[in-house]
Structure 1
Amino acid sequence: MTLPPDLVLFDCDGVLVDSERITNALLVENLAARGLQVAPDRVIDLFVGGTIAGVAKTARSFGATLEENWVDLIYAEMFERLAQEATPVPGVPSLLDALDAAGIPYGVCSNGPHAKMDVTLARCGLTQRFAGRIYSREDVPNPKPAPDVYLKAAADAGIAPANCVVVEDSPNGARAGKAAGMHTLGFIADTAAEHLTPICDAVFDDMRALPGLLGLTSK
């Protein structure tokens, strides 16, 4: 594609907000209390990039004994912990400054609910920066790896998918970006490179490298 892009679309957890380690640790603790021992690296393989409803289905299939309202219960625990501990991914504020300076709009597209982003983006001081361009799987028929959320964000902005860049840290999210016909970059700071390299157009492990990959600065 021609760089710089006309629109940059970010996943939220693990890309904008350093929340994956917090939520993964919570899942390990919570599922262990319900009869399912899952190693932290296995949590990443099984659950990152999916939905909490999907976590519940998978955990039950592996023998976890979950309450009927477990999704509501885990979200309540998660929101409380994220409100206390979530921080921006290093380099994100300066990256957004660079996009603003270049006049390039950006949005966030998450498989999580709006209520979760209300907590994490506010905690990290990012809510106003993404105002009007905050998208959840709640806004579309199908969650990632379907392309729906990315296509909606591009359509609302009036920008062709081919002129958009997606930044993701999970295989599900990267597949969604590619299915949307968008240039997809994989952030591998906390994700094994082999999970994203086969899917993405390029991978990187430091947000300070992203302006170069977007054509905003020399590499």
Structure 2
Amino acid sequence: MTPDLVLFDCDGVLVDSEAVTNRIIQENLAARGLSLPLEQIVTLFVGGTMAGVRDTAHSMGATLESNWLDLIYGEMFAGLAAQCEVIPGVSNVLDHLDHAHIPYAVCSNGPHAKMDITLTACGLKERFDGRIYSREDVPAPKPAPDVYLYAAKLANIAPARCVVIEDSPTGAKAGKAAGMRTFGYVAETDPTRLAPICDALFDDMAKLPKLLHLPHAAVAQS
């Protein structure tokens, strides 16, 4: 089935931001008494919220300031503005969707301020203009389905006609809870973490147009 709406997660799906943010989180927490290997940072925190990072890190013994969220976001925003890059192949996928006249949006657990930095740095902000949604816009973050249902409602498209593109178990659970087909992007994610949740997995954005069953004419034009 060709979808009527494609909903992308942001970090790790559209923008290559997670390596930067994971390193910043690792160094920040180590300076506050909690040293964790990078693999554990990924397992514990990728796909969640920074408030969740704060709560988990505190429970594990980190000594965090009352304004830690402001401090870590400041570090992250500076790092992302300098280093964030677009995921290879994303622009081509969006070209395919445009040719097929299929709308798309971004739905993230991150705040709008962070997406403003990453999407702008990667040259994607204008392509998603007016269709950038955050957990700040809804009652509950992923793995709750709220942000995906919100995007579908605004587009007036039934959830069953939407496809979600995710790279984390947290986000994939949100897509499935929304009643949407969910495809897992596993270029940097252990496929075994997403396979039990997603309807399909792919490791290269070049494979996504075919996975979405886009009309052949649309693919040929790109």
Quick check: TM above 0.5? Answer: yes
Report the CA distance between 1:4 and its aligned residue. 1.1
Among 194, 197, 201, the alignment partner of 1:196 is: 194
Q: Secondary structure at the match of 1:64?
A: coil
Q: Distance in 1 between matches of 2:5 and 2:64?
A: 41
Q: Which amino acid aligns with 1:202?
A: A
Greater Cα offset, 209-218 or 152-161: 209-218
Q: How does 1:69-218 map to 2 (within 5 A)?
A: 69-216=67-214
Among 3, 8, 11, the alignment partner of 2:9 is: 11
Are 1:50 and 2:48 matched, yes or no? yes
Q: Secondary structure at the match of 1:103?
A: coil
Q: TM-score if structure 2 supplies the norm length?
A: 0.96
Partner deviation per Cα, 1:95-151 (whole Å, 9 max, x = no partner) = 100000000000000000000000000000000100111000000000000000000
Q: Which amino acid aligns with 1:14?
A: G
Partner deviation per Cα, 1:61-117 (whole Å, 9 max, x = no partner) = 100011110001000010000000000000000110000000000000000000000
Which residue is 1:32 aligned to? 30
Q: TM-score if structure 1 supplies the norm length?
A: 0.98
Q: Which amino acid aligns with 1:154?
A: A
Q: Distance in 1 between matches of 2:54 and 2:60?
A: 10
Gaps of 5+ in 1: none
Gaps of 5+ in 2: none
Aligned residues: 217
Give the percent of matched residue pairs that are identical in Structure 1 and Structure 2. 66
Q: Secondary structure at the match of 2:51?
A: helix
Q: Distance in 1 between matches of 2:66 and 2:203?
A: 39
Report the CA distance between 1:217 and its aligned residue. 6.1
Q: Which amino acid aligns with 1:210?
A: L
Q: Distance in 1 between matches of 2:127 and 2:7?
A: 13
Q: Which amino acid aligns with 1:82?
A: L
Q: Distance in 2 between matches of 1:175 and 1:152?
A: 16
Is the Cα–Cα contact under 8 Å of residues 165 and 185 in structure 2 kept in the other structure?
yes
Structure 1 residue ranges (4+ consecutive) displaced by more than 6 angstroms after TM superposition: none
Report the CA distance between 1:31 and its aligned residue. 0.6
Q: Secondary structure at the match of 1:117?
A: helix
Partner deviation per Cα, 1:6-52 (whole Å, 9 max, x = no partner) = 00000000000000000001111111111101111111110000000
Is the Cα–Cα contact under 8 Å of residues 162 and 180 in structure 2 kept in the other structure?
yes
Q: Distance in 2 between matches of 1:141 and 1:186?
A: 25
Among 60, 63, 68, the alignment partner of 1:62 is: 60
